[in-house]
Structure 1
Amino acid sequence: MKFTQYLLLTLKGCAMGMADVVPGVSGGTIAFISGIYEELIESIKSVDGTALRLLGTLRLKEFWRHINGRFLLPVLLGIGIAIFSLARLMTYLLANHPIAIWSFFFGLIIASALLVAKQIGRWNVQTVAACLIGIAAAWWITVATPTETPNTWWFIMLSGAIAICAMILPGISGAFILLLLGKYQFIMQAVGDLNIPVILIFVVGAVAGIISFSHLLSWLLKHWHDVTVAVLMGF
């Protein structure tokens, strides 16, 4: 893979990271727009028992090929760079220039919905119903009221697992899920202050959540592609 391809994947990851720190916008939306969504899901899914055995026996080249490391590393690097460098900036912009920021991301959401629609091979009763279910579920999420929750380690880990699943779904914002769980400000503060213990606990939950959920999502895309994509479009 050429350096320019690595750079492009890193920039796409940065765009995903930018979206992930904004409540209401999903990194999965950016992945769909930039054309890396299904490869991202498959690459995350490949981090399984086989990958751990290869890593444990130090068969690093085989491990790297198995997890599609040439793709996964630059994307994850870009996401990490954006989250750690833009966490404070995005919270500042949301507080001081909310209309401009929301307008920009609203345009991205409209574009992504149109692009997601093109992925549906055939519209029928099933796909229309799935789209409506997606709309209804997303509407319910947006009107839900943020709650007060504990700052204990197990809840931070659980929040990471739930939020990361939302982050890889186009239309569902992991940051907004954190807001509903009462953990958005807490996690953004931890990232901004480099509170390593909180960040590590959150990351452990996120890794466990995304690896588990990617298997389900991959299966749905393979066996119920049009219905799954229609639900995502509705979101």
Structure 2
Amino acid sequence: MSNWRHHVVLFVKGLAMGAADVVPGVSGGTIAFISGIYSELINTIKSINLQVFSIIRHQGLLAAWEHINGTFIIVLLGGILTSLFSLARVMHYLLDAYPLPLWAFFTGLIVGSVIYLLRLHPLSGGLEKIYFVIGSAIAYGISIAPPIVLEGNLTTMFFAGSLALCAMILPGISGSFILVLLGLYPVFIGAIANFQVDILVVFASGGLIGLMLFSRLLSWLLAYFQDRVIAVMCGFLVGSLNVIWPWKQVVDSAQGIVQSTSNLLPHQFSVIVGQDPQTLICLATFILGLALVLVLEYAGKIKSNPAS
């Protein structure tokens, strides 16, 4: 495939990652993982270090650009940022207007991802099964943790950015949901919608520092313990289903912030909540989410041979 087509595919993956990252409970890392760019993304982030300045001084800008895989990160980041600033309002409109079908779509996406990943990396050993359970327990524990409310000042947003962006590159751990738990999600979305440069710059700076540190750990783990790391990540995905299950009852809320929910079956949702569960529509969007995994899998295969 020609370079420009490869870049278009990569840009679209960035769009999908950005769209996923604005939805609490869905991770852009999941999209990267199932579309075949996860390892390259982690290693690219890892390559952005102080060594770059030495390469610029001794070998020039072009060598430094190649060292950090500059074209990859710029195209992907362009897609992510385009999605964040153009699709954020669309995603939140869909969450407000069509929440059940949208969550069903994401549920299908996650279920399809788990099936796909376990087909590629079966839990063949006892240790892998244990790590899978640990990953599931961690993600589930995060999903039921009660939110706190922090003041949205610049210092807080710096550390929130570091934590959230590290979470965003983990499949099944949603950076947006971390912001919800910290009580900072409205501040973050408001900063995007109103283009509050000071908050966005501080948040991004914290995120960049966190990513540079965390990517080194992830890269090392993937290099030496790949099967166990993937088992944990598959567990993360399974545990995250508790967050994105469509039919929920709000059990406790305070000051407009949902403190806890309980998952329901469609017929229970109709009786307890008193709303149409939209079962057939949700089934259709669930299947659409499953089908999208096949599309992303195909895109991942395209990525593996960009010059063909």
TM interval, short-chain normalised: over 0.9
Question: Alpha-carbon deviation of 1:69?
Answer: 1.3
1:68-124 CA-to-partner distances (Å, cap 9, x unmatched) read 112111111100100011112212221221111111111111111122223426621
1:121-147 CA-to-partner distances (Å, cap 9, x unmatched) read 662111000000011111111101111
1:168-213 CA-to-partner distances (Å, cap 9, x unmatched) read 1111111101100111111001000000100000000111111111
Query: Which runs of 5 or more residues in structure 2 are unaligned?
Result: 237-308
Partner in structure 2 of residue 162 of structure 1? 163
CA contact (8 A) 1:21 1:90 kept: yes
Structure 1 CA distance for aligned equivalents of residues 27 and 180 of structure 2: 13
Partner in structure 1 of residue 178 of structure 2? 177
Structure 1 CA distance for aligned equivalents of residues 145 and 25 of structure 2: 13
Q: Counterparts in 2 of 1:100-179, with a 5 A limit?
A: 100-120=101-121, 123-179=124-180
Partner in structure 1 of residue 51 of structure 2? 50
Residues 1:14 and 2:23 are matched in the alignment? no
Question: Alpha-carbon deviation of 1:47?
Answer: 0.5
Query: Which runs of 5 or more residues in structure 1 are unaligned?
Result: none
Structure 2 CA distance for aligned equivalents of residues 53 and 122 of structure 1: 43
Q: Counterparts in 2 of 1:196-211, with a 5 A limit?
A: 196-211=197-212
Residues 1:216 and 2:217 are matched in the alignment? yes
Question: Please, what is the CA RMSD of the aligned residues?
Answer: 1.5
Residues 1:96 and 2:101 are matched in the alignment? no
Partner in structure 1 of residue 4 of structure 2? 3
Structure 2 CA distance for aligned equivalents of residues 220 and 94 of structure 1: 36
Structure 2 CA distance for aligned equivalents of residues 179 and 52 of structure 1: 37
Partner in structure 1 of residue 37 of structure 2? 36
Structure 2 CA distance for aligned equivalents of residues 57 and 34 of structure 1: 36
Letter in 2 for 1:35: G
Letter in 1 for 2:48: V
Whichever of the two has the greater Rg, that structure is 2
CA contact (8 A) 2:18 2:28 kept: yes
> How many residue pairs align between the two structures?
235
Among the aligned pairs, what percent are the same residue?
A: 43
Structure 2 CA distance for aligned equivalents of residues 227 and 20 of structure 1: 25
Task: Detail structure 1 runs of 4+ shifted over 4 Å in the superposition.
Answer: 55-58
Residues 1:80 and 2:81 are matched in the alignment? yes
Letter in 2 for 1:106: T
Check 1:56–1:200 CA distance in 2 against 1; reply closer, same or farther (3 A cut): farther
Check 1:118–1:127 CA distance in 2 against 1; reply closer, same or farther (3 A cut): same
Check 1:56–1:209 CA distance in 2 against 1; reply closer, same or farther (3 A cut): farther
Partner in structure 1 of residue 188 of structure 2? 187
**Greater mean alpha carbon deviation, residues 14-23 or residues 105-114:** 105-114
Letter in 1 for 2:116: L
Question: Alpha-carbon deviation of 1:55?
Answer: 4.5
1:15-63 CA-to-partner distances (Å, cap 9, x unmatched) read 0000000000100111112111111111111101112333567921011
**Greater mean alpha carbon deviation, residues 116-125 or residues 76-85:** 116-125
Answer 1 or 2: which has greater strand percent. Answer: 2
Structure 2 CA distance for aligned equivalents of residues 28 and 151 of structure 1: 25
Structure 1 CA distance for aligned equivalents of residues 155 and 58 of structure 2: 31
Structure 1 CA distance for aligned equivalents of residues 160 and 97 of structure 2: 27
CA contact (8 A) 1:156 1:198 kept: yes
Letter in 1 for 2:192: V
